[in-house]
Each structure stands twice: as C-alpha cells, then as structure tokens.
Amino acid sequence: MKPAAVLDASAIHTFLPHRYPFLFVDQVIELEPGSRIVGVKNVSLNEPYFQGHFPGHPVMPGVLIVEAMAQTGGILALYGEEEKRGKLCYFTGIDHARFRAPVLPGDRLELIVTMRKQRRDFWWFDGEARVGGQLCAEAGLSAMVTKDTLPSFRAERS
C-alpha cells in the first residue's frame, strides 16, 4: 500500500513555481523539516520528452531525474519557515551524479533527498532516485533560497 501524501500537487504548487511540463514532483510522501524528504514522480508515457528520448525505447532523461531531485530538495529548503514562504529556490550545483538503471514509462520514481549542510540561504543535499527500491540515480545537489519572488507566481496562488 502506498503511503498517503504529506503534500499533494496543490500544496507543492505553493512551494515551487514550476508547472507542467516542467514540474517533476507529483506528491511528497515523507517530510522531516530541515532534514529529509521523499517525493514521488509518476512517470507516464504521455510525458513530452518520450517523443524523442528515445523513439521505440522511451527512457526518462537523466538530467530530468536530477531536476526532479533538485525540485524535491527545493521543497525541503522552503518548507516550514514562514519567512521563506513564496521565495524562490535556485538549483546551483550537481556533484558526482551517477545513473544506475533506466527510468521507464509506468515507473513510480521515488526522490529521496537528505540535507547535508545549510549555511544562511545555501543548502547542500544528497539525492537518490529509486524505482521499486532499486537505485536509479544519485547526486550531490546544492541550492540557494533567494529574496526574489515571482509576482505571477504569487498571484496564481491567491
């Protein structure tokens, strides 16, 4: 049985400015503020990138798996601190990315992100992407929470 969502799609929209087709977190199923988060991306054959990656053998691009981990880390960086509400979290780095197994249409991609270090508005994370418990990708990630907000993003959430 799948765990119930801690954050559903509507709640995720309050943390991330991304929208279809560039939002890669469908729900959050575990969340320890300031420490760890587990997000889920349900990978569908209808994803636009499968038209060209690869025709006849669809595989989720590794760079989008890393982006999904980064978006999940962004939620972790912004969650639970009222002064960060509505701020933007920019992805600033990738270290030691490794791809272990393909992610295919129909897969339920679990995005496990753990906070390694935080200093002021800078965050460092360890990310893993798993399907059915099997490690598909891993990377060190870094991000920065800015003082910026997007006016259209704020208006949409009202």
53 as an active site residue: the answer is yes
Determine the Cα–Cα distance for residues 124 and 92; give it in Å rounded to an integer: 10
Question: Which positions of the chain have pLDDT values less than 70?
Answer: 1-3, 150-158
Assign a CATH topology to domain 9-157.
Thiol Ester Dehydrase; Chain A (3.10.129)
pLDDT at 158: 44
The model's pTM: 0.92
Burial per residue of 92-115, b for 16 or more beta-carbon CB atoms within 10 angstroms, e otherwise: eebeebebeeebbeebebbbbbeb
Q: Write down the catalytic residue from 18, 53, 57, 96.
A: 53
**Contact partners, residue 151, CB within 8 Å, separation at least 6:** none
Give per-residue pLDDT as tens, 146-158: 988 765 544 444 4
pLDDT for position 80: 83
Task: Determine the pLDDT at residue 155.
Answer: 45
